[in-house]
Structure 1
């Protein structure tokens, strides 16, 4: 089953909008609506509705998972290169609640469709493969990570692993790819080939994977 888009989507796609100037868009809710924007059209097309469904699904799965608030905050902040900072009483699930509510308001205005699902995307074989690559992929974290969280790469790996096991396999993998891009973490040849295989099994589009090509300068990214 093919995905509705060849690009990133859902929560990992949304996190890309939290760049260093995101506050000029407004609050979290305004960023969500900007992400789901239909431009000058009067109605949303099916692809836009599927994007909203994917985002709401990601948020619900992560909020209902066994991940701690700190784990959720770590994954989201790392996905934004530290540009989203949790302050005051805000927790990871409070943020997810704001995103989910904004998404549902958009769906009430522009239409709601079922989220795309395929049993193959959540199979034990694929989940184990994603867990293995999370555990083994070299991750050279920027110094800012330790400044924000006072931890090392093992905690990031644990959070991503927990995301696979109690939230969603493809969400965990997409967050891993987003963390690479957001923090300019290199992808070596071996990791690239494994990422390529997993992306194929999860039906993730080539435009999503190609966004990492600049991080693997020592090898031809496309395997034969």
Structure 2
């Protein structure tokens, strides 16, 4: 992170914070309501929020910014809901009130507390990138916020005060004024936010993104997904009354770069492949118990129907125009996957899943996995195989791991997908 500023994620923040966190909470034009909102924010997390609120206010106060500039960016960030001028204050006076309130709150814990000097982020490259993003949306932002001088005002905040608070105020203006941003711009925002140590929600939550259609061939995830991800989230205390919530947690877990509904679409595709396959219900049940190490108190196809129903509900909610299509399986890597499965069979032939409670022989599982690869989908079969290796804690040689990575690359998995089993390599050495 630039210039030794704190990483907000490491500090425990999961949503917007400081001055921009306050702008999000203002719902009334009245001064008492605004002060009450600021007091609630400053009092949050035993005063930790007060640190960021006071720091943000002082960054703006210490910069050579006119009150006109400060008022313009403030009005944009709050969507004109609260204007200090309506209450006989200029914007600097309002910011001083916020800074003083934050200091008073922090003195409740340490009476001698003195606010430290501000440490503005003024890295030239970073400032230039933030200014470039502001200019990309200048016409739409100016029109939506009805503030003709907003873009140059935001640029001054970034270059003369602080790139961090300037970028957050820009994001708040986009959200408050309902400006739709292209997916490419959103991806760049995520990159800037990561460099500044933001939690993803600071960029994502409330931003109107022009999402492309869901495309399960382009998963845009760095980790596991679909049915294999659901298996990884299972536990031995699985119960029918909690199953729907467990499925929804995965179906609702879109990664920041994914169009809404992507996680549900990927999970649904896996479930439908198996539902429509020639595999027996017993084979499907064996697969699930093996890769999840969790009991299944219903038939395998009944379980998959429940998974499909939950995913379809999620898609109707967030991506109603999405058409559910299961594309043909990619079979070009089937032989490579089968070779890896068959090489592993001698290693696990004497093992079992849950050996002390309803043991499931590993040889039976490997036969089921081979059926998936040959008769359903090599991609799904390979992901379930990787998950099964974790369940049994099967040692993997470095050469095997590198071959798994090569297969994963063919299937266009994310960069951390196979890395989840790298610990098995260490056990083999």
Q: TM-score range by the shorter chain?
A: 0.7 to 0.9
| Partner deviation per Cα, 1:77-123 (whole Å, 9 max, x = no partner) | 11112x2x123xx210010001101110111111154679888x713
Give the 5 Å matches for 1:111-126. 111=319, 113=322, 122-124=330-332, 126=333
Give the 5 Å matches for 1:66-81. Answer: 66-81=278-293
Report the counterpart of residue 210 of structure 1 in structure 2: 419
What is the match of residue 36 of structure 1?
Answer: 251
Match of 1:106 among 285, 294, 314: 314
- In the TM superposition, residue 72 of structure 1 has moved relative to its aligned partner by 0.9
State yes or no: 1:52 paired with 2:264.
yes
Contact 1:11 1:55 in 2 (8 A): yes
* Structure 1: gaps spanning 5 or more residues: none
Offset, 1:206:
2.0
In the TM superposition, residue 176 of structure 1 has moved relative to its aligned partner by: 0.5
- Quote the residue 2:408 is aligned against: 199
Farther off after superposition, 47-56 or 132-141: 132-141
| Structure 2, gaps ≥5 residues long | 1-216
Task: Give, in whole Å, the separation in 2 of the partners of 1:143 and 1:11.
Answer: 19
Superposition deviation, residue 68 in structure 1? 1.4
Q: 1:168 aligns with which of 377, 380, 383?
A: 377
Instruction: Identify the match of residue 273 of structure 2 among 61, 85, 90.
Output: 61
Residue 115 to residue 10, structure 1, CA distance change in 2 (3 Å): farther
Q: Which SS does the other structure have where 1:27 is aligned?
A: helix
For residues 267 and 355 of structure 2, what CA distance do their matches in structure 1 show? Answer: 25
1:134 to 319, 329, 341: 341
Tell me which of 301, 310, 319 is aligned to 1:93. Answer: 301
Distance 1:203 1:99, change over 3 A: same
Q: For CA contacts below 8 A with separation 6 or more, give which structure has more relative contact order.
A: 1
* Cα RMSD, aligned residues only: 3.0
Please list the CA deviations of residues 150-202 of structure 1 after superposition, one character each: whole Å capped at 9, or x if unmatched.
5441x222211111122211100000011112332221233212211111111
What does residue 24 of structure 2 align with?
Answer: none
State the distance in 1 between where 2:394 and 2:385 align.
Answer: 10
CA shift in 2, pair 1:102/1:118, >3 Å: closer
TM-score normalised over the length of structure 1: 0.80
Q: CA deviation at 1:215?
A: 0.7
